[in-house]
Amino acid sequence: MMTKKLIAFYSKADENYVSGTLKILTVGNTEVAAHMIEELTGGDVFRIEQVTPYSKGYNDCTAEAKADQQQNARPELKYYPDSIDDYDVIYLGYPNYWSTMPMAVFTFLEHFDFSGKIIKPFCTHEGSGMGCSVSDIKKLCPNAIVEKGLAIHGSRISKSKKEIESWVK
Protein backbone atom coordinates (compact mmCIF):
# COMPACT_ATOMS: atom_id res chain seq x y z
CA MET A 1 0.00 0.00 0.00
CA MET A 2 1.27 3.45 -0.85
CA THR A 3 1.54 5.95 1.95
CA LYS A 4 -0.51 9.07 1.48
CA LYS A 5 1.33 12.31 2.19
CA LEU A 6 0.19 15.78 3.17
CA ILE A 7 2.41 18.83 2.93
CA ALA A 8 0.92 21.40 5.32
CA PHE A 9 2.79 24.69 5.47
CA TYR A 10 2.67 28.26 6.70
CA SER A 11 4.61 30.78 4.63
CA LYS A 12 4.99 34.53 4.36
CA ALA A 13 5.66 36.36 1.12
CA ASP A 14 5.99 40.17 0.94
CA GLU A 15 8.78 41.87 2.91
CA ASN A 16 11.19 39.35 4.46
CA TYR A 17 14.59 39.39 6.12
CA VAL A 18 17.04 37.75 3.69
CA SER A 19 20.81 37.60 4.22
CA GLY A 20 20.84 40.67 6.44
CA THR A 21 18.57 42.90 4.34
CA LEU A 22 14.85 43.33 3.79
CA LYS A 23 13.62 42.02 0.44
CA ILE A 24 10.21 41.64 -1.18
CA LEU A 25 9.42 37.99 -1.94
CA THR A 26 6.57 37.14 -4.32
CA VAL A 27 6.50 33.61 -2.85
CA GLY A 28 7.57 32.86 0.71
CA ASN A 29 10.60 30.59 1.27
CA THR A 30 8.60 27.92 3.11
CA GLU A 31 6.13 27.75 0.22
CA VAL A 32 9.04 27.24 -2.22
CA ALA A 33 10.27 24.34 -0.05
CA ALA A 34 6.74 22.89 0.23
CA HIS A 35 6.41 22.77 -3.55
CA MET A 36 9.82 21.08 -3.86
CA ILE A 37 8.56 18.42 -1.41
CA GLU A 38 5.32 18.12 -3.40
CA GLU A 39 7.36 17.51 -6.56
CA LEU A 40 9.47 14.85 -4.82
CA THR A 41 6.65 13.03 -3.00
CA GLY A 42 3.48 13.64 -5.00
CA GLY A 43 1.83 14.62 -1.72
CA ASP A 44 -1.22 16.85 -1.34
CA VAL A 45 -0.52 20.46 -0.40
CA PHE A 46 -2.38 22.49 2.21
CA ARG A 47 -1.54 26.10 3.03
CA ILE A 48 -2.10 27.15 6.66
CA GLU A 49 -3.54 30.69 6.50
CA GLN A 50 -4.80 32.99 9.21
CA VAL A 51 -8.18 34.71 8.89
CA THR A 52 -6.39 37.94 9.81
CA PRO A 53 -2.97 37.82 8.14
CA TYR A 54 0.03 39.57 9.59
CA SER A 55 1.13 42.84 7.97
CA LYS A 56 3.05 42.73 4.68
CA GLY A 57 5.90 44.83 6.12
CA TYR A 58 8.58 42.83 7.93
CA ASN A 59 8.83 44.94 11.09
CA ASP A 60 5.04 45.16 11.59
CA CYS A 61 4.66 41.45 10.86
CA THR A 62 7.33 40.47 13.37
CA ALA A 63 5.79 42.69 16.05
CA GLU A 64 2.35 41.12 15.48
CA ALA A 65 3.73 37.59 15.41
CA LYS A 66 5.79 38.18 18.57
CA ALA A 67 2.74 39.59 20.40
CA ASP A 68 0.76 36.47 19.40
CA GLN A 69 3.55 34.26 20.70
CA GLN A 70 3.83 36.17 24.00
CA GLN A 71 0.07 35.82 24.49
CA ASN A 72 0.16 32.15 23.45
CA ALA A 73 -2.54 33.11 20.93
CA ARG A 74 -4.21 30.70 18.54
CA PRO A 75 -5.01 32.76 15.43
CA GLU A 76 -8.17 31.61 13.68
CA LEU A 77 -7.47 29.82 10.39
CA LYS A 78 -9.29 30.45 7.09
CA TYR A 79 -9.90 26.72 6.60
CA TYR A 80 -8.70 23.22 7.38
CA PRO A 81 -8.41 20.02 5.39
CA ASP A 82 -11.69 18.10 5.79
CA SER A 83 -9.76 15.32 7.46
CA ILE A 84 -6.21 14.03 7.90
CA ASP A 85 -7.35 10.43 8.46
CA ASP A 86 -6.12 9.20 5.07
CA TYR A 87 -2.62 10.61 5.51
CA ASP A 88 0.22 8.54 6.95
CA VAL A 89 2.94 11.19 6.65
CA ILE A 90 2.56 14.91 7.25
CA TYR A 91 5.35 17.23 6.12
CA LEU A 92 4.88 20.30 8.29
CA GLY A 93 6.54 23.50 7.09
CA TYR A 94 6.91 26.92 8.67
CA PRO A 95 9.33 29.81 9.09
CA ASN A 96 11.17 29.94 12.42
CA TYR A 97 9.53 32.70 14.50
CA TRP A 98 11.43 33.25 17.78
CA SER A 99 12.70 29.67 18.03
CA THR A 100 9.40 27.99 17.19
CA MET A 101 6.52 27.92 14.72
CA PRO A 102 4.12 30.76 13.95
CA MET A 103 1.14 30.48 16.31
CA ALA A 104 -1.20 29.62 13.39
CA VAL A 105 0.71 26.33 13.10
CA PHE A 106 -0.12 25.63 16.76
CA THR A 107 -3.80 26.27 15.87
CA PHE A 108 -3.53 23.77 12.99
CA LEU A 109 -1.84 21.07 15.10
CA GLU A 110 -4.39 21.39 17.92
CA HIS A 111 -7.29 20.98 15.47
CA PHE A 112 -6.51 17.35 14.57
CA ASP A 113 -5.57 14.09 16.26
CA PHE A 114 -2.16 13.14 14.90
CA SER A 115 -2.00 9.80 16.76
CA GLY A 116 0.01 7.27 14.76
CA LYS A 117 0.90 9.83 12.07
CA ILE A 118 4.48 10.54 11.05
CA ILE A 119 5.23 14.26 11.18
CA LYS A 120 8.29 15.47 9.28
CA PRO A 121 8.90 19.11 10.22
CA PHE A 122 10.78 21.53 7.96
CA CYS A 123 11.47 25.17 8.58
CA THR A 124 13.05 28.10 6.85
CA HIS A 125 15.23 30.47 8.83
CA GLU A 126 18.02 33.01 8.55
CA GLY A 127 20.37 31.42 11.07
CA SER A 128 18.25 30.10 13.94
CA GLY A 129 17.64 26.56 12.65
CA MET A 130 14.74 24.51 14.03
CA GLY A 131 14.82 26.27 17.42
CA CYS A 132 12.55 24.39 19.86
CA SER A 133 9.84 23.78 17.24
CA VAL A 134 10.35 19.99 17.15
CA SER A 135 9.86 19.68 20.92
CA ASP A 136 6.81 21.96 20.63
CA ILE A 137 5.35 19.64 17.97
CA LYS A 138 6.02 16.64 20.22
CA LYS A 139 4.16 18.37 23.08
CA LEU A 140 1.19 19.24 20.85
CA CYS A 141 1.07 15.81 19.16
CA PRO A 142 2.24 13.37 21.86
CA ASN A 143 0.97 10.28 20.01
CA ALA A 144 2.56 11.14 16.68
CA ILE A 145 5.95 10.00 15.46
CA VAL A 146 7.90 13.24 15.02
CA GLU A 147 10.92 12.66 12.83
CA LYS A 148 14.13 14.68 12.53
CA GLY A 149 13.40 18.09 11.14
CA LEU A 150 15.04 19.91 8.26
CA ALA A 151 16.15 23.51 8.72
CA ILE A 152 16.68 25.35 5.44
CA HIS A 153 18.38 28.73 5.16
CA GLY A 154 15.70 30.90 3.54
CA SER A 155 18.21 32.90 1.53
CA ARG A 156 19.49 29.63 0.00
CA ILE A 157 16.07 28.09 -0.70
CA SER A 158 16.53 28.05 -4.48
CA LYS A 159 19.72 25.98 -4.02
CA SER A 160 18.22 23.56 -1.46
CA LYS A 161 16.62 20.94 -3.70
CA LYS A 162 19.34 18.27 -3.16
CA GLU A 163 19.25 18.81 0.61
CA ILE A 164 15.44 18.50 0.62
CA GLU A 165 15.60 15.45 -1.62
CA SER A 166 17.96 13.56 0.69
CA TRP A 167 15.83 14.51 3.74
CA VAL A 168 12.61 13.32 2.05
CA LYS A 169 14.17 9.89 1.31
Its pTM stands at: 0.96
d(CA 31, CA 114): 22
Residue 26 φ then ψ, to 5°: -75, -30
> What topology does CATH give the domain 5-168?
Rossmann fold (3.40.50)
Residue 17 — pLDDT band, cuts 50, 70, 90? confident
Would you call 114 helix, strand, or coil by DSSP? coil
Q: Where are the alpha helices (DSSP H) in the chain?
A: 29-41, 58-70, 103-111, 133-140, 161-168
Residue 19 — pLDDT band, cuts 50, 70, 90? confident
Give the residue extent of every domain in the chain.
5-168
Distance of CA 18 to the CA centre of its chain: 17
Contacts of 2 (CB under 8 A, 6+ apart): none
pLDDT tens figures, 93-130:
999 999 999 999 999 999 999 999 999 999 999 989 99
